[in-house]
Amino acid sequence: MGDDAAGDQVDAIVVSNLVNVRYLTGFTGSNAAVLVWAERPERPEDTISTDGRYVSQVAAQVPDLPALIARDCPRALVEHAAGLRPRVRIGIEADAMSVAAFTDLSQHAGAELVPLRGTVEALRAVKDAGEVELITSACRIGDEALAALIERDAIVPGRTERAVARDLEWEMYVRGADAIAFETIVAAGPNSAIPHHRPTDAVLADGDLVKMDFGAVAGGYHSDMTRTYVLGAAAAWQREIYEIVEAAQLAGREALVPGADLAGVDAVAREVIADAGYGEYYVHGLGHGVGLEIHEGPGIGAAASGTLPVGATVTVEPGIYVPGRGGVRIEDTLVVTDAGPRLLTTTPRALRAL
């Protein structure tokens, strides 16, 4: 029942992380949990729980499971399971429940509760064809939105970071985005040296590097892409760091092979930047999984453990950030296949002057 050893010893798990509930059932309400029994003889029926606001929605979205209507969904499902099977042992998502709630439930629910971590998340790390199709759609929306912004000369000196960011988000909505994947980053000039800069009223100027990190949501699934442009002619130092990041990003993409050590993939790209003398200016991991959440497993970084599975959809996003001057990041979303990594974001990566 997942990557937690204790998961092999439980009779069932109550999933209360709403993203995991959606992954398992398709339910999108704001209050829910689902009881999933272990694959054993005389397996009871799985059950979803939500409150009275979602009676019609749960019937439409999850017609194959009985619904237990209650405000405190995890408690209702634990008590339901305890009534079906004496001395039942139930796994609880430790990351989705407070210590106080877990303690109270343990004392009054009539079942033995076992905290688990990463059970459903381990399943989510590998995407099926339908999930990849939705992520591909989200990536297409982002690619087309950025192209539209460039085509109408919206990224030019005199405009503010905030105005460019809002325009880019609107272009994604126009092209069918359900939502914005995260707060869009537009960072110009010295601000481009801040990895997760929030757009301000800073005005774009000739000679600036402009870093744009953004994504769309389609059918609940996210995209993630970063491109860095220069306004006007690029200075020698800008071309230098751009070419280094471009080489590191290519090395990272090519290292995305099934079974690759996650920390090793990070090291391949990091070595390119370090060998060029900019190691101290690369301050984050190489990438992360993308799916129902913008950041999910597997993580690709120096401290990562594990290997890269077929079907993982991940980002590759090295960067160089020189404080007070500017920074470059190039990021794509890719899916790992037996035939090699497949790019889902397709906007060209070569340095472009706007």
In order of 184, 192, 234, the CA distances from 197 in angstroms are: 9, 7, 22
Cα–Cα nearest to 303, from 274, 334, 264, 332: 264
- Please spell the DSSP secondary structure of 76-120, one letter per residue: HHHHHHHHHSTT-EEEEEGGGS-HHHHHHHHHHSSSEEEEE-SHH
pLDDT tens-digit series, residues 129-186: 999 999 999 999 999 999 999 999 999 999 999 999 999 999 999 999 999 999 999 9
Q: What is the pLDDT along the chain (354 residues), one digit of tens a residue?
A: 344 444 568 999 999 999 999 999 999 999 999 999 998 777 899 999 999 999 999 999 999 999 999 999 999 999 999 999 888 999 999 999 999 999 988 888 888 999 999 999 999 999 999 999 999 999 999 999 999 999 999 999 999 999 999 999 999 999 999 999 999 999 999 999 999 999 999 999 999 999 999 999 999 999 999 999 999 999 999 999 999 999 999 999 999 999 999 999 999 999 999 999 999 999 999 999 999 999 999 999 999 999 999 999 999 999 999 999 999 999 999 999 999 999 999 999 999 999
The gap between the terminal CA atoms of the chain, to the nearest Å, is 51
Has this prediction a pTM greater than 0.75?
yes
Instruction: Give the span between the Cα atoms of 245 and 327, in whole angstroms.
Output: 10
Buried b (16+ CB within 10 A) or exposed e, 287-302: bbbbbbbbebbbbbbe
Contact between 230 and 210 under an 8 Å Cβ cutoff? The reply is: yes
pLDDT at 8: 61
**Domains of the chain with bracketed CATH:** 5-124 (3.40.350.10), 129-343 (3.90.230.10)
